[in-house]
Amino acid sequence: MPELPEVETMCRGIEWIVGRRIARVSKPACEYRPISITPSVTTINKKLAGAKVERVSRLGKRVLIHAADHALILQPKMTGMVSLEDPPDLDHNRLQIDFKGWPTLQLFFWDRRGLGTVELQHEDAIEERIVNGKLGPDALTITFDIFSEKLSATSRAIKVALLDQKLLAGVGNLYASEMLHVSKIHPEKPCNKLTKLKKRLLYEVMQRVLLDAIAHEGSTLSDGTYRNALNNPGSYQNQHLVYDRANEPCPSCSLGTIRRIVQAQRSTFYCPKCQKK
C-alpha cells in the first residue's frame, strides 16, 4: 500500500502541475528516518528549476514527473503519498516542489515511515534503470496471452506470483486478495495448475477490480495514511470483500468465515468456502 489504484489516483490528482514551471525543489526539515533521494536535492533543483512540467505518468507503483528531458520518480512504497494540499502533518514531509505562476501551487511528497524513494533519471535511462529485468508489464495494459504465459511458467502460489513486480507491475497485497476472492481461486493454488478458463476469469476480474478502485480513488485503510492529491480519503475500502476482514462472515456466500494466512511474509485473506483449494 499504496498500490496501482492509489498511485494512479495520485497521478491524476496532480495533473494540475502539467504546463507549470518549477520554481524550486527543496527538502523540508525532518527529524525522522530520511528517505532515499538520488542525486542530492541540490542537484535535482539545479536540473529542474525553471523547467516546465511536460506530463505526469505512472510506472507500476511509481509517480513520474517529466520535465527538462528528465523524470522525477517518486516511489511511495508503504506509507508515501503525493499531495497538492497540506499533507497530514508537516513532520513527515520529505520533498517539496514550488511552482511559478498563479495560483500558488506546491507539491508535497509525504511519507510517515520513511520507506519511499525519490530519484531523478534522464528520460533515456528510465527503461534500463527501472524497467528492464525489474518491472513486468503493467496490470492494466498487459494482454491476456502474456498474462497467461507468465502464470503458466511458474509453480508459485498464485497470490505470491501476483505480488511479484517482475511478473506483473502494480498489484499489491490488498488487491491481490480481492481479485482472487472474486475469481474464486484459492490463494495457495499453484499458477501452473490454473486452467485457461480460470486464468481468463482472473485476468478480467483484475482489470475490473483495479478500474473500480481507481474510480473510487483508492482505498484508505484504518490508519488513514493514504489520501488523494487533495488530501481526501479514497472510498474503495467500502467495497472490500475479504481484505482485513478475518473471522467475519463471507459477504459473498454467507457460509464461510474469512481466514487470514501468511504468504511470503504478507497477510492473505480468503473464504475457504468460496475459494476451495
**Res 189: pLDDT:** 98
Strands 80-83, 70-75: pairing kind = unpaired
8 A C-beta contact, residue 170 and residue 11? no
8 A C-beta contact, residue 72 and residue 120? yes
152 & 225 share domain? yes
**pLDDT tens digits, residue range 2-32?**
999 999 999 999 999 999 999 999 999 888 8
Q: Does this model's pTM top 0.85?
A: yes
In-domain check, residue 136: no
Q: Which domain holds residue 207?
A: 144-270
149 & 232 share domain? yes
Given 131, 164, 181, the domain boundary residue is 131
Phi, psi dihedrals of residue 63, rounded to the nearest 5°: -100, 130
208 & 110 share domain? no
**pLDDT tens digits, residue range 134-183?**
999 999 999 999 999 999 999 999 999 999 999 999 999 999 999 999 99
In-domain check, residue 262: yes
Provide the 10 A C-beta neighbour count for residue 223.
Answer: 9
Catalytic residue among 2, 5, 76, 87: 2
C-alpha cell at 154: 511458474
217 as an active site residue: the answer is no
30 & 119 share domain? yes
Q: Is the pLDDT of residue 1 over 80?
A: no
Provide the 10 A C-beta neighbour count for residue 255.
Answer: 11
% of the chain residues with pLDDT over 90? 88
C-alpha cell at 215: 474510480
- CATH number of the domain within which 81 lies: 3.20.190.10
114 & 173 share domain? no
**Res 91: pLDDT:** 87
259 as an active site residue: the answer is no
In-domain check, residue 245: yes
107 & 162 share domain? no
239 & 198 share domain? yes
Given 131, 156, 189, the domain boundary residue is 131
In-domain check, residue 139: no
In-domain check, residue 50: yes
Catalytic residue among 3, 6, 8, 217: 3
C-alpha cell at 212: 473500480
- CATH number of the domain within which 170 lies: 1.10.8.50
Q: Is the pLDDT of residue 231 over 90?
A: no
**pLDDT tens digits, residue range 54-95?**
999 999 999 999 999 999 999 999 899 999 988 888 889 999
114 & 49 share domain? yes
**Res 101: pLDDT:** 94
**pLDDT tens digits, residue range 172-225?**
999 999 999 999 999 999 999 999 999 999 999 999 999 999 999 999 987 778
C-alpha cell at 273: 468456502
2 as an active site residue: the answer is yes
192 & 105 share domain? no
153 & 264 share domain? yes
Given 68, 97, 131, the domain boundary residue is 131
Cell 482472473, located at residue: 202
C-alpha cell at 47: 536540473
150 as an active site residue: the answer is no
**Res 37: pLDDT:** 97
Q: Alpha-carbon distance 174 to 184, whole Å? A: 16
DSSP output for the chain: ---HHHHHHHHHHTGGGTTPBEEEEE-----SPPPEEES-HHHHHHHHTTPBEEEEEEETTEEEEEETTEEEEEE-TTTEEEESS--S-STTEEEEEEE-SSS-EEEEEEESSS--EEEEEEGGGHIIIIITTT---BTTT--HHHHHHHHHT--SBHHHHHT-TTTSBS--HHHHHHHHHHHT--TTSBGGGS-HHHHHHHHHHHHHHHHHHHHTT----TT-----TTS----GGGG-SSTT-TTSBPTTTSSSB-EEEEETTEEEEE-TTTS--
In-domain check, residue 228: yes
152 & 258 share domain? yes
Residue type, 12: R
Cell 456466500, located at residue: 253
Q: Is the pLDDT of residue 227 over 90?
A: no
Q: Is the pLDDT of residue 130 over 80?
A: yes
* Higher-scoring residue by pLDDT: 33, 260: 260
In-domain check, residue 138: no
Catalytic residue among 61, 62, 94, 245: 61
The domain total for the chain is 2
In-domain check, residue 260: yes
154 & 125 share domain? no
